[in-house]
Structure 1
Amino acid sequence: MTDTTPLDLAARIRRLKFRSWHRGIKEMDLILGYFADTVLETLSPAELDQYETLIEAEDTSLYNWVTGREATPAEFDTELLTRIRTFNHLEGTLWPRKG
């Protein structure tokens, strides 16, 4: 799904942010929510398509791919998933810092 107008794009990003923060498990809320709030506006329409496909995956599987507990299936093993892993590692959102 590729929206073309700025209004459509803004609505799409708002929807994706909401979906990122309202997952089935809290860990995925944190991982995807922080990523979405920080990065979604910088993604290309093709990357937004990838993100939308990625967040359709089941939470436990997605969590295991992001944390490296399971091998990522080829269709989800994208540069975008690598960016999510790197972002969460660098930003500390997998285990937020206290203080």
Structure 2
Amino acid sequence: MRPMLEDPTPKRLRWRAHHRGTKEADRMIGGFFDAHHQQWNAQEMALFEALLEEQDVDIMAWCIGTQKVPERFEGEMMIAMQRLDYLPIDR
């Protein structure tokens, strides 16, 4: 009998978070996922998955505060994304 694989959801979400289409979005959204996903429960995973359905320009605008965050994404996860303290800075 083959051992059960670990939950594929984090792997799938990680791939989607890191393959957005631009380096900036990959780093912002993927970096956030890497920094926080291990603490998320199933509801938070589902919220992040819903967030990934949004356009990158919108997600990034919500994070940097140039657009109002839609009510469905308001809360602790978006507050954490807006801190931007999870982004490494190349020097």
Q: Structure 1 counterpart of 2:34, which letter?
A: D
Aligned-residue CA RMSD (Å):
1.8
Give CA-to-partner distance per residue, 1:61-81, whole Å, 9 cap, x none. 111111101111111222211
Q: Among residues 54, 57, 67, which one is paired with 1:57 in the alignment?
A: 54
Unaligned runs of 5+ in 1: 1-5
Bigger radius of gyration, 1 or 2?
Answer: 2
Aligned to 1:3: none
State yes or no: 1:45 paired with 2:38: no
- Corresponding residue SS for 1:96: coil
1:35 positional shift: 1.6
- TM-score, normalising length: structure 1: 0.78
1:7 positional shift: 4.1
Q: Which structure: greater helix fraction?
A: 1
The residue correspondences of 1:11-90 to structure 2 (distance < 5 A) are 11-86=8-83, 88=84, 90=85
- TM-score, normalising length: structure 2: 0.84
1:97 positional shift: 4.3
Q: Structure 1 counterpart of 2:89, which letter?
A: P
Q: Structure 1 counterpart of 2:29, which letter?
A: L
Unaligned runs of 5+ in 2: none
Identity %: 26
Give CA-to-partner distance per residue, 1:15-38, whole Å, 9 cap, x none. 100000000222110011112122
